Structure 1
């Protein structure tokens, strides 16, 4: 009779066991090994010790799982089968207990939150530059109508940033406009009274000074704005709606834009346009590049509906740099002027001419000294138009913005040639530019 397994006469003799019984024993052994391996796989699948033992042991006690179907069991003793099954069950139990299976908590997979490299750089930029951004409160003196007590109440707020270790804070002028007192809150929530060093209404820039310890002042890194490109990533930090420091991101969506000063209406050239959210309270805060360097001051949003429309504007840092230097040194900006008041552009268009109509030219001003004629009325009340400026230094002037743009390129003391239309005649008049008078 042929058997499926080879027997060694040294270990198994025919006198002790019949061949089918021995084969069944070896089959039980191989089945136990196979089950043990299966248990190892289950162990790797994070099955707890005792629960696996109680649930699996009855299943493995069934002879249908481990009895070899190719060997008939008619020649074996039922007691021997039961004994072998008991031994197999004990062996499996021991293998469970000796195997280092993880606890039930292994079912919970806790993978650490991982940030992408660009996210890490943004988080790092915010953490490194937040100490440089401050919160500015504009206080106004008001009298109570019933008690007549004089109180200081907040009438506005905005953002700013530390310029140097001396305590100079840079912000927008419209943030501090009409303030009786100003308070600056640093990133560590310490508050200091601030005084105005100087401001430039035309460019909407102001410089404050706080008496804070130098170790609490973190000047912001100053960058450049003449090499910016559309599509470049930018980051705006501020205190919108009076909240704590917040960060908004976007890209530069336009360059060399022009907006008007919120105070004087004078145009501000080369403004940065961005889609980074600039909400109320972000005014005066910094606009940063991906290296964390200052490239502009957030100053306005274009919002016909009164809501943030995704078009914000920032004054470029190259413009701010020169203004802040003059304000810190002299307390004012020496910007050249012609010394005239001119008519609105719409009024000139109705006359059918192109240029700037001079309404007033004080005699002590540069234009008055040079002989420019203002608009006036004769003895009969008839309106006599003054000079209409058509060009300055050969550059065409079609409206007030053109005139301001040309003057911004000049310096105090420069001699310019102003071409005017006087009646039907064109005349060229030399004018020496003078500084803008002090503003209270």
Structure 2
């Protein structure tokens, strides 16, 4: 697949405000409406309204004051004020309330430089901040328990065409709600900057604009299916192509950040081609443009030890069929270091199977300050 030919804008902006309300989130029944019947349209409209009323109190606006050193080579520059959105959640057994948002919303700001605007106009400072630049996820801990929180859905079960609602503060307009559908899943062929390596986006046509970053994407049960992160646009405003981090990935990353302060990831140690186009597939004797094409193998890595070679195509990891280079990166990243995996490869116009032991990405980064590895 070719990479998307748009300019990408991360959805934070320099305006803030802060309004929301407070009620406890509860589930509602999803309405299966027939748009040809007026009564069903009314039921669907009421479902949207119920989700908006119940979930809005869990959505916050975030303002971060970033020091010049983090944003500009000019030390005399004024501090930069950036704003975005977030959603309140709570993990079982934890004290306080977490705000989930994007790393790029708060990156470069200390905890005392971040302000969270709640539903009832209260302004709170987080007592702790965790961030994972590779997935663009950040968690802010608020020292207060009696706040409404939203629940995560299982994003693996979401379907293309399913209705969703996007919440956030586009252009500083707090408590904005838009609707759309899930346009596609597992989007990875998007370029979002040098630090973001884990890309597994839900694509939606719900209107998302600068300032919406970190806000939740919800199903009609009022559950978080994603965290809004980026838009594809020629103008910098909504064009019907937006991207959200799936809730399962958000939940996994957030739990690791809170429990251990960082994220553990596996790696193999290969450089991958961005895609396998039909010409590559035909040249390699393949019948489908699937898998992840190895361009290079880094020395002294799990891939090198396993015997991987340039021009190998990784077709499967254990029983999982690899769809693309990004799919392989995400899959291996989610595995623990030390786990043994079977790799089905396409090599010299035939299929072979080798074994590899997943390495520790954090240790590899500290040891090898070189090109990014996958």
Task: Please report the TM-score for the alignment, with normalisation by the length of structure 1.
Answer: 0.57
How is 1:63-78 mapped onto 2 (pairs within 5 angstroms)? none
C-alpha distance in structure 2 between counterparts of 1:311 and 1:203, whole Å: 19
Match of 1:208 in 2: 140
Per the TM alignment, residue 201 of structure 1 is displaced from its structure 2 partner at its CA by 3.2
Q: Does 1:390 align with 2:313?
A: yes
Match of 1:437 in 2: 362
- RMSD between aligned alpha carbons? 4.0
SS in 2 for 1:431: strand
Match of 1:185 in 2: 117
Instruction: Please tell me whether the aligned partners of residues 387 and 421 of structure 1 are also in contact (alpha carbons under 8 angstroms).
Output: no
Match of 1:325 in 2: 255
C-alpha distance in structure 1 between counterparts of 2:45 and 2:272, whole Å: 52
Candidates 155, 159, 181, aligned match of 2:85? 159
Per the TM alignment, residue 406 of structure 1 is displaced from its structure 2 partner at its CA by 4.5
Per the TM alignment, residue 244 of structure 1 is displaced from its structure 2 partner at its CA by 2.0
C-alpha distance in structure 1 between counterparts of 2:99 and 2:122, whole Å: 15
Per the TM alignment, residue 161 of structure 1 is displaced from its structure 2 partner at its CA by 0.7
Instruction: Please tell me whether the aligned partners of residues 389 and 418 of structure 1 are also in contact (alpha carbons under 8 angstroms).
Output: no
Match of 1:366 in 2: 302
Which whole-Å deviations, capped at 9, do the CAs of 1:169-212 have from their partners, x for residues lacking one? 1112222233344322222222223365433334322212123x
Instruction: Please tell me whether the aligned partners of residues 210 and 237 of structure 2 are also in contact (alpha carbons under 8 angstroms).
Output: no
- Give the total of aligned pairs: 304
Per the TM alignment, residue 118 of structure 1 is displaced from its structure 2 partner at its CA by 4.6
Q: Does 1:357 align with 2:295?
A: yes
Per the TM alignment, residue 240 of structure 1 is displaced from its structure 2 partner at its CA by 0.6
C-alpha distance in structure 2 between counterparts of 1:408 and 1:186, whole Å: 34
Assess, with a 3 A threshold, how the Cα gap between structure 1 residues 357 and 231 changes in structure 2: closer, same or farther. closer
C-alpha distance in structure 1 between counterparts of 2:355 and 2:186, whole Å: 31
Instruction: Please tell me whether the aligned partners of residues 135 and 196 of structure 2 are also in contact (alpha carbons under 8 angstroms).
Output: no
Instruction: Please tell me whether the aligned partners of residues 267 and 333 of structure 2 are also in contact (alpha carbons under 8 angstroms).
Output: no
Per the TM alignment, residue 286 of structure 1 is displaced from its structure 2 partner at its CA by 0.8
Assess, with a 3 A threshold, how the Cα gap between structure 1 residues 150 and 257 changes in structure 2: closer, same or farther. closer
Segments of structure 1 that go 5 or more residues without pairing to the other structure are 1-114, 374-385
SS in 2 for 1:262: coil
Match of 2:204 in 1: 274
Per the TM alignment, residue 423 of structure 1 is displaced from its structure 2 partner at its CA by 11
Per the TM alignment, residue 124 of structure 1 is displaced from its structure 2 partner at its CA by 3.5
Instruction: Please tell me whether the aligned partners of residues 343 and 359 of structure 1 are also in contact (alpha carbons under 8 angstroms).
Output: no
Higher helix share: 1
Assess, with a 3 A threshold, how the Cα gap between structure 1 residues 428 and 126 changes in structure 2: closer, same or farther. closer
Match of 1:109 in 2: none
Task: Please report the TM-score for the alignment, with normalisation by the length of structure 2.
Answer: 0.66
Assess, with a 3 A threshold, how the Cα gap between structure 1 residues 196 and 260 changes in structure 2: closer, same or farther. farther
Which whole-Å deviations, capped at 9, do the CAs of 1:390-425 have from their partners, x for residues lacking one? 326478879743541542464322123568899999
C-alpha distance in structure 2 between counterparts of 1:235 and 1:268, whole Å: 21
Q: Does 1:140 align with 2:82?
A: no
C-alpha distance in structure 2 between counterparts of 1:123 and 1:429, whole Å: 53
How is 1:23-38 mapped onto 2 (pairs within 5 angstroms)? none
Q: Does 1:299 align with 2:192?
A: no
Per the TM alignment, residue 159 of structure 1 is displaced from its structure 2 partner at its CA by 0.6
Per the TM alignment, residue 326 of structure 1 is displaced from its structure 2 partner at its CA by 1.8
How is 1:53-72 mapped onto 2 (pairs within 5 angstroms)? none
Instruction: Please tell me whether the aligned partners of residues 265 and 362 of structure 2 are also in contact (alpha carbons under 8 angstroms).
Output: no
SS in 1 for 2:65: strand
Match of 1:407 in 2: 332
Structure with bigger gyration radius = 1
C-alpha distance in structure 2 between counterparts of 1:428 and 1:229, whole Å: 33
Per the TM alignment, residue 357 of structure 1 is displaced from its structure 2 partner at its CA by 1.9
Relative CO higher for 1 or 2, CA cutoff 8 Å, sep ≥ 6? 2
Instruction: Please tell me whether the aligned partners of residues 204 and 241 of structure 2 are also in contact (alpha carbons under 8 angstroms).
Output: yes
Instruction: Please tell me whether the aligned partners of residues 390 and 397 of structure 1 are also in contact (alpha carbons under 8 angstroms).
Output: no
C-alpha distance in structure 2 between counterparts of 1:184 and 1:273, whole Å: 27
SS in 2 for 1:333: coil
Segments of structure 2 that go 5 or more residues without pairing to the other structure are 1-40, 285-291, 367-374
